[in-house]
Structure formats: C-alpha cells, structure tokens
Structure 1
Amino acid sequence: MRGASPAPAAQAHPRREPGLRRRRAPPRGRRAGHRARVKLSVEFPSVAYREGPGAVARMARAIEQIGYDHIDVFDHVVMGYPIAGRAAGPYTPTMPILEALMTLSHLAAVTSRVTLGTEVLVLPQRHPTLVAKQVSTLDTLSGGRVRLGVGVGWQESEYEALGEDFRTRGARMDEAIRLLRAYWSDAQVDFDGPHYPVTAIAMEPKPPQGRRLPIWIGGMSEPAWRRVGWLGDGWLASRVEDAAGARRALDAIRRHAEAAGRDPATIGLQSMVAPPPRDAEGKRFYAEHDRVVARVAELEKLGFGWAALNATAVFQAGARSVDAMIDALGTLHGKIRAAVG
C-alpha cells in the first residue's frame, strides 16, 4: 500500500451496516434474531434533463416523497467513440450524462431527507484536492447528507481526454481516498504521498460529517475488494450474478478487512438490482415488477443492506417520461416494501 498509513482509515468506521460479519463462513448478513430493513436507492436518470430543469427537480422530490432512502448519480465526463485501436464500450458515446457533483448540488437544494451520492465517481480522473473541496461543500450545503461512491473506471480514452494516467489509476485511487479524509479532518494537512504530496495546507469548511463522511468503493475485481476491505465504508456492486459470486466477493472483502485490522461488519453493502440493460431481455426487466421484487429479496438474503434501482433502465423498460418514471418507481417501491419490509 502506497501513500499515507492505512491506520487512520481503519479507525474511522464505527457505524455498523447490515452485511459482513466477523467470520469466514459465507455471510448471512444479519445478527441472530435481527432483521434490518433493506434500504432502497435510485440511480438518478440524466435523461430527465430533456424535459427541462424543473423536471429534474420534480424527479428528485418525487423519489424522496415516495420513500426512497438515497439518490445516486452516475459519472462519466466524456465517452469515447470506437476507433482503430479502441474497442466499443458498454454505452453509446452519445449517452447523455450530467456531471455528477453539479447534479447532486442541484438535487441537494430541492430535497431534505434522502442521502445523496455518486455511483461511482471516477476518482483518479480528478485531482483529490478539488474533489475534497467539492464534496465538503456539497455535504455542508446538503446538511450532512453525502455518501461518496468512487471507482477507478474502465475507459482509457476518458483518462486521456482529462490528461490523467490510466495505468496508475489504482495506486492513485488508494492515495486519493486517504487524502480526502485528511482534508476533511485535519486543521493542517501534511500528506506524504508519491502522487499527491501536500505540505502545510488548510481546507475549510470541513464537511459536517468530517472524516466520517462515508466513502463507498465500486468494483467487481479482487483489487476493488481489497480496496473496500482496507479503505472503504462500503462496497457498491454493479451486479451480483449469483449467490456463489456474491459470497466470493464478500469473503474477499472480509479477508482484506481483517488483514487491515478492521471489523468487517462495519462495511456496508449495496448492489444494483440489475446491471444496465444491454439487450432486449435486460430492457424488459424493470417492466416485470415481480422479478424486481424477487431480486431485492435475493440481495437481502445475501446480506446486502442496500438495493439500488436504475431509473435509466426504468426509462428503457418503457417509462418514457419523467412522470412515467415517477409512477413506475412509486409502484416498485410499494411492492418491494410490501414484500421485504
């Protein structure tokens, strides 16, 4: 591990989320006799902007009023076209994606209860000093409602467009997470890292949550699970294909957390209910409400304390306006709560 010592991060996670327990057997995700209510997140649909700024605000307020617990915003700054030497990505290059932190600042102004986050901000594409300031400001103006989700990303062309090194993104991610926490807690920041050294620097105001502002980490690989275990307040899974795959990931996170001297039970778990649709079958998923409810129930049984519904996928499933997406999300919320609490 490069950069500052991991010890402070290991000390800064007193909250206990449903999910990992301190044992090596496959997790059940709940203490004996305890059944926590699975929390529901919505990944906000950038497509709402097509109906104007008022529709974006109306969508956010409706998600809160329906009863969802959290709103996440997707992140890509640019998308690369497939050209010679560059394979096509999973999304069309012209997919509309609003800038994540600016969108969250708008959502913070029109909501009051839901927590707000990114799923996920591609952290190594940005300088962490600026991210620390932006997120601290967002937490301040939202009244302490921010949960930062971060990942290393996959799109080399996006890194190139932003002038950042794709090859070092993993090491810079680890270092950036530690630097963010230093900015959010230390009166004077002195940080001896090979990528982001800082000497005698102050940043004010601190976020209301301080160093405890949760940083959840996305990724579906062993390096990502190692990063969650060592540094993360939670894991953001973009997909969970089956129970065996979920247990393999959770066992890896637990193993790395214990190696770092952390209690694995303090690490929260969220999964997308279904990955972004890439075929006709995927696009039908959110129109078949019983499948969505069953999937949330499966995630809860695996130990996930959070389940995330992708509102863009709801749009692709046939809810082709903001009002239609609101109606669909309201129906899904009611059915999920009736089935799993």
Structure 2
Amino acid sequence: MHSIASGVSVIGRVPGSESRAAEASGSGGGMVARPRIDVGMTVNAKPPLALVERDVAAAQEQDLDAVMVWDHLQDFYPSALWDHGFGLYADEHASPHTWFDYQTLLGYVAARAGGLRLGVGVTESFRRHPIVIAQAAATLAHLSHRPPILGIGAGERENTDPYGLPFDQPVGRLEEAVQIIRTAFTSQGPFDFHGRHYQLDGAVLDLLPPPGRTPEIWIAAHGPRMLRLTGRYGNGWYPFAIGSPEDYAARLGVIRAAASDAGRDPETITPSWTCLTVIGRTEAEARAMLDTNPVRFWGLLFSADIWRLFGAQHPFGQQFRGYLDILPEQCRDREALDAAIAAVPQGLIELAIWGTPPQIVEKLRAFGEAGLRHVVPWVPSALVSPDAADYTRRALGEISLALRNGG
C-alpha cells in the first residue's frame, strides 16, 4: 500500500508485521494479549448545545476515553451542497459553518464530562498566539479531572485566507508555537523567546496546570518534517491521512527515531489517529453509506498526489493539497461539486475504516499491531440520518470495549 502523504512512502509490509500478527492471533506461539487501544469520540462543536450535551453523555455511558472537538471557523462542506437531503445537519442547520469556539465550549463541557479526557483536535497558531493557546489549555486542566489533549497542527487555508491571515511557513510557525507552549506549561516568571515568527520579551504566564494534569500536546503530523517535530516536542501523534497499518508504522518510526535523537523516551509519545470511519449494522449497509454524498465528499479532501495513486486527476487541480487548501465558499457551482464527488475513486473512499463494529475492531487491531494506542473516529456516516447518528453512538461503545480489552 502506498503512503498517502508526501515524503513517507510505504510499499509492501513492515518487516516483522506478519510474525507479530500471527503471534497475536495465536498461531505459532500461542495466544497473547493484543495491544490496548483507547477510543475517543469526535463531538460536533455546533449548536444546538443540547446535541453536544447528548454526545458527551453518550461518551460517558459508553465508557469512552475522550471527547474531542474541532477548532474551525468554516466547515469543509461548502454551502452550495447544504440543502435538504444532503444529510442530518443540513436538514437541521441553515449553514454548515455554525461553529462554537472550542475553548469556551470545552470549559462548558468540563463541568459535565466526569472522567472523560477533553481535547481539541486540532487548533493552530495563526488565529491565536501560542501564549493564548497555552493559557486556555492550562485553564481547562483546572476545570477537568484528567490532562487535556491540546491537539495542534499547521493549519488550513479555510481558517486563514478568508480572514486576511497569511497561510505561510506553517510548519516553522508551528514549531515555534509548540516550543513556547511547552515553556509556558512549566515555567514561572518572565521568559524570552526569539524566533522568526514570535518574539517574546519578559513574557509571563504563571498559570501552571495542577500537578498530574499538564495538558498533552498532540501534533497532527504527516510529512517528514512534521513527524520529526512530533518526536522532538510532542506528547502524542494525531494524524488524519493514513493509508494502511504499514504506512502508520513507518511514520511512527520516524517519530520515535526523532525522539531518541532528541534524548526523549519514544514510548512516552501516544500514537493516536483521527480516522475516517463508516459504521453500519451490516457490511452492506456500511458499503451503501460509503456512496452517500456526506461520506464521498471526504474523498475531495485528499490531495491531488493521493488521487494520482489511484490513477485519477483531482477535480480541484494538480497542485491541490486537499483539506489544507480547500476554501469551501469559493466552491459555489453545485453541478461541478456533484461531478467532483462522483469522480472520487472508489478505492480512495474505501481507505476509510468501514464495516460492522466487529469488522472495524479487526481493522483497528491491525493498526494496533503497527503501534496505534488511541483512536478518535470521525464518523461522517453519522451525518446521514438520525438513525445512523444514534447507531454510531452505541457502536462506538462496542468498538471501544473490544479494543480496550485487547482480546
């Protein structure tokens, strides 16, 4: 299987993966416990607030590990697609772009989350200064029972370009931001930072997190430079675009090597994944949902390079970088959007983790053998109908129980 991000190419199987899989299944060497994988839930940070409360309550009832929300000003879905029949949220909301501020929302959720971990997956440092991000995360640590997850990435054009914020040198900016945030979590008194993007002179953030609840920085890394950055500075890895267990293992190897080179213990970095997931009661139901517009649209958020691996040309251009580049409100031609969705290669959309709960468990266990220890499914099939949304919440509990027990 080819990698689906530039710079880390994987063809064939990771050496030793066959023997590990055989050992886990009991052939050759007897049954051994499979790796434990914790499961979180992606909660749509959108009104009405009652739906957020419902999802948080479901995550507690299903004994999930974490609740994660996105930090967006715009949705990926264009308004041109947003009409009756497109999906559950389109039937209930006039616009796809009704996003709550993640920091305020997580503060509200903290009073209702009990033992759930709370996190953002992910924010960036174009719209908020790193010190403001650190202050919000440290505040959340005081409001919640477990260390918050501060997911952070290099950003996306949809949250910068329309607002007059230049989307330039995102990786360099992210590296400096993470350095500042790490310092802010552990230092008291004035400190300086002199970088290319940020200049701090006698900066103070004396709000330290409570003991044992320092927020963990999980980095949304895909390419080699971001992977190495994760190894040097991250407490966790939180990618989206992953093609196979071999792909996952190869990129995790880059992270762990960078951590070792930096004098860090690679095992202290949590390998996570926010994976595109489609859950059905039967395999046929799940396969049918792969062909619905709310799900197929996600194929457009993969880059032109990935489309070429499937022998196809991306309708948004040969240089299009997928979700990094999409500007939804510039996509106003409904007929062109429908044609683009129809052009998504079937093999590409089947990269999603899809099937019945037992099938999804088996697929994720293969990623567990590759190093995965925490997964937060993004389930666009839950947007298809109220029934699909209800079933998704129950199914995540079943999936979580099986992966947590490791058997």
TM over 0.5: yes
Q: Is the 8 A contact 1:122 1:152 kept in 2?
A: yes
CA–CA distance in 1 between the matches of 2:77 and 2:59?
A: 33
In 1, Cα distance between equivalents of 2:255 and 2:404: 29
Q: Deviations over 1:173-232 (max 9, x none)?
A: 111111112222211131222222222232242112589421010122112101111111
Question: Is the contact between residue 159 and residue 166 of structure 1 (CA under 8 Å) also seen in structure 2?
Answer: yes
Percent of residue pairs bearing the same amino acid type: 24
Normalised TM-score (structure 2)? 0.64
**Rounded Cα–Cα distance in structure 1 between residues aligned with 2:219 and 2:390:** 32
Aligned to 2:66: 70
1-side partners of 2:76 and 2:241: how far apart?
23
Partners of 1:26 and 1:96 in 2: CA distance: 47
Match of 1:57 among 53, 59, 62: 53
Q: Does 1:148 align with 2:144?
A: no
Equivalents in 2 of 1:160, 1:80: separation in Å? 14
In terms of Rg, which structure is larger? Answer: 2
Letter in 2 for 1:236: Y
Q: Is the 8 A contact 1:59 1:322 kept in 2?
A: no
Shift of 1:113: 0.2
Q: d(CA) in 1 for partners of 2:213 and 2:130?
A: 15
1: CA distance, partners of 2:237 / 2:55: 26
- Answer yes or no: is 1:201 the counterpart of 2:219: no
Contact kept? 1:235, 1:269, Cα under 8 Å: yes
Which residue, 231, 243, 246 being the options, matches 1:244?
246
Give the residue type in structure 2 aligned to 1:63.
Answer: A
Say which is worse superposed, 189-198 or 322-331, in terms of deviation: 322-331
Pairs within 5 Å for 1:248-287: 248-274=250-276, 277-278=295-296, 282=349
Partner of 2:286: none
CA root-mean-square deviation: 3.4
**What's the CA shift for 1:72?**
1.2
Q: Per the alignment, in what secondary structure is the counterpart of residue 173 of structure 2?
A: helix
Contact 2:357 2:395 survives alignment (8 Å)? no
Secondary structure of the 1:192 match is strand
List runs of 5+ in structure 2 lacking aligned partners.
1-13, 24-31, 79-89, 279-294, 298-341
Q: For 2:382, which of 315, 324, 330 is the aligned residue?
A: 315
| CA gap 1:44/1:258 in 2 versus in 1, 3 angstroms | same
Partner of 2:172: 171
Structure 1 position 163, deviation (Å) = 4.2
Residue 148 of structure 1: how far off its partner (Å): 0.7
Query: Number of paired residues?
Result: 301
CA–CA distance in structure 2, aligned partners of residues 26 and 239 of structure 1:
24
- In the aligned structure 1, how far is the partner of 2:243 from the partner of 2:153? 20
Give me the whole-angstrom Cα distance separating, in 2, the residues matched to 1:63 and 1:80: 25
Output the CA distance in 2 between the equivalents of 1:285 and 1:143: 31
Q: Does 1:290 align with 2:366?
A: no
Corresponding position of 1:190: 191
Instruction: Name the amino acid aligned to 2:267.
Output: A
**2:230 aligned residue (215, 228, 231):** 228
Contact 1:119 1:149 in 2 (8 A): yes
* Alignment-derived partner of residue 41 in structure 2: 42
Give the 3-state SS of the residue equivalent to 1:149 in structure 2.
Answer: strand
Could you tell me how far apart the structure 2 residues matched to 1:267 and 1:333 are? 21
**Alpha carbons 1:254, 1:264 under 8 Å: kept:** yes
> In structure 2, what residue type is equivalent to 1:278?
R
1:101 corresponding residue in structure 2: 103
Which stretch has the larger CA shift, 231-240 or 270-279?
270-279
Q: Per-residue displacement from partner, 1:141-190 (whole Å, max 9, x unpaired)?
A: 113430111100232x4223444331122111111111112222211131
- Give, in whole Å, the separation in 2 of the partners of 1:259 and 1:119: 27
TM-score (norm 1): 0.76
Deviates more, 1:183-192 or 1:173-182: 183-192
Instruction: Note closer, same or farther for the CA distance 1:197–1:109 as it changes in structure 2 (3 Å cut).
Output: same
Aligned residue identity for 2:372: F
Contact 1:138/1:146, CA 8 A, preserved across alignment: yes
Amino acid at match of 1:301: E
Q: Runs ≥4 in structure 1, deviation > 4 angstroms?
A: 24-30, 33-36, 79-82, 209-212, 279-287, 317-325, 334-338
Match of 1:85 in 2: none
In structure 1, how many angstroms separate the alpha carbons of the residues matched to 2:76 and 2:354? 28
The structure-2 alpha-carbon separation of the partners of 1:330 and 1:265, relative to structure 1 and needing over 3 Å to count, comes to closer
Give the unaligned 5+ runs of structure 1: 1-23, 83-91
Counterpart of 2:394 in structure 1 is: 327
CA distance in 2: counterparts of 1:113 and 1:211, whole angstroms: 13
The answer to whether the 8 A contact 2:74-2:97 is kept is no
Distance 2:390 2:372 in 1: 29
One-letter amino acid of the counterpart of residue 327, structure 1: R
In the other structure, the counterpart of 2:125 is 123
| Cα 1:160–1:139 shift into 2, 3 Å | same
**CA drift at 1:133:** 1.3
Q: Does the 8 A contact of 2:277 with 2:353 survive in 1?
A: no
Q: Kindly provide the amino acid, as one letter, of the partner of residue 292 in structure 1.
A: I
Structure 2 CA distance for aligned equivalents of residues 298 and 130 of structure 1: 39
Whole-angstrom CA distance in 2 between matches of 1:226 and 1:181: 16
The residue type paired with residue 145 of structure 1 is: P
Matched letter for residue 41 of structure 2: V
Contact 2:36 2:403 in 1 (8 A): no
Q: Give the distance between the partners of 1:309 and 1:135, measured in 2 at CA.
A: 23
Q: Distance in 2 between matches of 1:55 and 1:197?
A: 41
Deviates more, 1:72-81 or 1:199-208: 72-81
SS where residue 238 of structure 2 aligns? strand
Distance 2:223 2:353 in 1: 25
